[in-house]
């Protein structure tokens, strides 16, 4: 299939008013990693829900792209690997470096100029990774809130942002990870660098959120997240808030950083924790039994922490992260 045909599968669904500086707006996408299905189910359910609303219910613009990466989805269908580009080994969510500042050094450059530039790049690009990067950025530049929705391999809800402010929607997620000035080339990171540089975008923000994956996806879970998203739309003002609805009030947010615990050898892993439960300092976190079945290696915590995500694979290889923890002391 030709690359342009792939791009036609990346369909944006638009609701509410047209994007303008005078009305609030939000962009949401899912499945940049092809194997992350709950996020896509939730966004499809949101599309169905928003389609039932009268035009008068909207006070801003909403754009939803439920399948942001058909390359990764196709890879997942046929190889069961939707996180990486199989030909290059690139993580699909680490491809968003950008060169807009080099092309447009003036900070008062209009968003429409950036979008036109990206569209020009798309028309002449042959590299699939760059094509995907340019196209998704072109769809999303200019929105007040840009949300990349993921489903971790096996984890509990958490949120990534450069720094937490009262302008960032939380979607009822209590674990907020700040990556501050670190350049990680994720979709939200690229947007935050763009937003910080260009004056006409500096009031916008971009985040990544991770939904539940430690429990099976179900209609009930999808409906629960749909309700949370709809409430958040009302809080930021893109949907009018009727008197009978109750916006989510969140007062238990924990802000910190994460650390990945890796395995030094290949072997079979065993966990000694529960996701979301505190593991005290110097406690066993997981073990690796090498394939020679000798000298089991036990990895311990180095501070009080809360495991939020783990590698589901029984067999792991050297250097692979096994557990991602939220460091309580950060």
**HEC per residue, the chain:** CCHHHHHHCCCCEEEECCCCCCCCEEEEEECCCCCCHHHHHHHHHHHHHHHCCCHHHECCEEEEECCCCHHHHHHHHHHCCCCECCCCCCEHHHCCCCCHHHHCCCCCCCHHHHHHHHHHHHHHCCCHHHHHHHHHHHHHCCCCEEEEEECCCCECCEEEECCCCCCCCCCCCCEEEECCCCCCCCHHHHHHHHHHHCHHHCCCEEEEEECCCCCCCCHHHHHHHHHHHHHHHHHHCCECCCCCCCCCCCCCCEEECEEEEECCCCEEEEECCCCCCCECCCCEEEEEEECCCCCCEEEECCCCEEEEEECCCCEECCCCEEEEEEECCC
Alpha-carbon distances of 120 from 131, 134, 138, 282, rounded to whole Å: 11, 9, 10, 54
pLDDT in tens, 291-310: 988 899 999 999 999 999 99
Average pLDDT, the chain: 90
Is residue 88 over pLDDT 90? no
CA distance 99 to 81: 29
Ramachandran area for residue 317 (φ above 0: left; ψ -120 to 50: alpha; else beta): beta
Which has the closest alpha carbon to 118: 136, 138, 101, 98? 138
pLDDT at site 79: 76
Q: Confidence band (pLDDT; 50, 70, 90) for 242?
A: low
Is residue 248 over pLDDT 90? no
Task: Please state the φ and ψ torsions of residue 71, each to the nearest 5 degrees.
Answer: -60, -50
pLDDT in tens, 40-81: 999 999 999 999 999 999 999 999 999 999 888 888 877 778
What is the DSSP pairing of strand 175-178 with strand 254-256? parallel
pLDDT at site 329: 59
CA distance 206 to 168: 8
Strand partners, 285: none
Which has the closest alpha carbon to 323: 267, 262, 264? 262
Task: Please state the φ and ψ torsions of residue 298, each to the nearest 5 degrees.
Answer: -110, 125
Interior/surface letters 18-37, b for 16+ CB within 10 angstroms, e for the rest: ebeeebbbbbbbbbbbbbbb
pTM: 0.93
Q: Is the dihedral of CA 185, 211, 45, 228 positive or negative?
A: negative
Task: Please state the φ and ψ torsions of residue 146, each to the nearest 5 degrees.
Answer: -120, 120
pLDDT at site 1: 41
Is residue 124 over pLDDT 80? yes
Q: Confidence band (pLDDT; 50, 70, 90) for 192?
A: very high
pLDDT at site 247: 47
Sequence-distant (≥ 6) Cβ neighbours of residue 12 within 8 angstroms? 63, 64, 65, 139
């Amino acid at each position: 299939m030709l690359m342009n045909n792939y791009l036609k599968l990346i369909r944006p669904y638009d609701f509410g008013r047209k994007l303008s500086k005078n009305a609030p707006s939000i962009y949401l996408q899912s499945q940049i990693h092809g194997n992350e299905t709950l996020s896509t189910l939730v966004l499809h359910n949101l599309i169905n829900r928003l389609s039932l609303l009268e035009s008068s219910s909207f006070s801003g613009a909403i754009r939803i792209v439920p399948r942001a990466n058909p390359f990764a989805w196709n890879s997942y269908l046929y190889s069961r690997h939707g996180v990486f580009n199989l030909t290059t080994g690139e993580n699909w969510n680490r491809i968003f470096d950008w060169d807009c500042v080099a092309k447009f050094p003036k900070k008062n450059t209009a968003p429409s100029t950036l979008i036109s530039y990206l569209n020009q790049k798309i028309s002449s690009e042959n590299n699939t990774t760059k094509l995907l990067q340019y196209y998704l950025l072109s769809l999303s530049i200019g929105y007040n809130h840009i949300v990349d929705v993921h489903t971790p391999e096996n984890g509990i809800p958490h949120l990534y942002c450069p720094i937490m402010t009262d302008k960032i929607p939380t979607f009822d997620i209590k674990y907020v990870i700040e990556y501050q000035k670190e350049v990680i080339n994720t979709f939200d990171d690229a947007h935050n660098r763009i937003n910080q540089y260009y004056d006409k975008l500096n009031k916008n923000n971009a985040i990544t959120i991770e939904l539940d994956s430690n429990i099976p996806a179900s209609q009930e879970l999808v409906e629960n997240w749909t309700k949370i998203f709809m409430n958040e739309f009302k809080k930021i003002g893109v949907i009018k808030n009727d008197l009978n609805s109750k916006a989510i009030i969140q007062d238990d947010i924990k802000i910190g950083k994460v650390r990945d615990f890796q395995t030094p050898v290949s072997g079979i892993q065993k966990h000694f924790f529960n996701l979301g439960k505190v593991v005290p300092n110097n406690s066993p976190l997981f073990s690796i039994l090498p394939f020679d079945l000798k000298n089991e290696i036990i990895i311990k915590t180095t501070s009080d922490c809360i495991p939020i995500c783990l590698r589901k694979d029984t067999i792991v290889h050297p250097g692979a992260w096994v557990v991602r923890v939220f460091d309580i002391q950060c």
